[in-house]
Chains A and B, each alone.
Chain A
Amino acid sequence: GNSVTQMEGPVTLSEEAFLTINCTYTATGYPSLFWYVQYPGEGLQLLLKATKADDKGSNKGFEATYRKETTSFHLEKGSVQVSDSAVYFCALSGIQGAQKLVFGQGTRLTINP
């Protein structure tokens, strides 16, 4: 079936460190890929997306590239801030026309000053 596998957390980094959160997917067809973020006490919100192979989504300094050959959508940021502390979810949709999102298990990120 369709699934998303994320890097196990929690991840703890110091401010200004480089961040990578790995995400790989299993799907038939060509899904759209998303990263959602959940800040403490808030609802899930869309961080970035990519809808076809080799697309790069970017927002707030975060980037992720849709890699069809490796079925991956890794999240990266060059210099993290304390305010980036949150839970990050990789997700896919669009399998066989379905709109529903299939989420990974989430990765908790903590940035220390």
Chain B
Amino acid sequence: EAGVVQSPRYKIIEKKQPVAFWCNPISGHNTLYWYRQNLGQGPELLIRYENEEAVDDSQLPKDRFSAERLKGVDSTLKIQPAELGDSAVYLCASSREQGVSNSPLHFGNGTRLTVT
């Protein structure tokens, strides 16, 4: 099966500019996740979707971050305006089974964001 596809792979922007990331999950995977990975750290969840519904966005900084998953397939994550501290790798993941806590996540290669 094709994997989780993310774009762009790299993005460099100046602070206060907007930026958007795109993710296409594995076909048939209902659950989609956005994680942020700071340098030298493990990924941290930003938001989780079940189909088109955001079921956990408690760690999404809603003043500047937004996400959508129209039609319950691909998703975009947006930052507006970006700050220096947003520099990180943004990871998208998907999983097949809803409501099953040990269902493995499949990760994309991530988008590395650098804010200057």
Contacts and interface: CB of A to CB of B under 8 A. Distances in A.
Interface of A: 4, 31-32, 34, 36, 41-46, 49, 51, 89, 91, 93-94, 97-101, 103-106
A98 B101 CA distance: 6
Contacts of B104: 34, 46, 49
Contact of B42 (A41, A45, A97, A103): A103
Given A44-B93, A104-B42, 7 more contacts: A43-B91, A43-B110, A44-B43, A44-B107, A99-B103, A101-B45, A106-B41
Given A43-B4, A43-B91, A98-B56, A103 B102 contact: no
Interface in B69-116: 91, 93, 95, 99-110
**Count class of interface residues, chain B:** 20 to 34
Contacts of B40: 105-106
A103 B44 contact: yes
A104 B105 CA distance: 16
Interface of B: 3-4, 31, 33, 40-45, 48, 56, 91, 93, 95, 99-110
A42 B109 contact: yes
A101 B107 contact: no
A93 B103 CA distance: 9
B20 to A, nearest CB: 20
B102 A51 contact: yes
B43 A93 contact: no
Given A99-B95, A103-B44, A105-B42, A32 B101 contact: yes
Nearest to A89: B42
30 contacts: A4-B42, A43-B4, A44-B43, A44-B93, A44-B107, A46-B104, A46-B105, A46-B106, A49-B104, A51-B102, A89-B42, A89-B43, A91-B42, A93-B101, A93-B102, A94-B102, A97-B101, A98-B101, A99-B99, A99-B101, A99-B103, A100-B45, A100-B48, A101-B105, A103-B42, A103-B43, A104-B42, A105-B40, A105-B42, A106-B41
A60 to B, nearest CB: 15
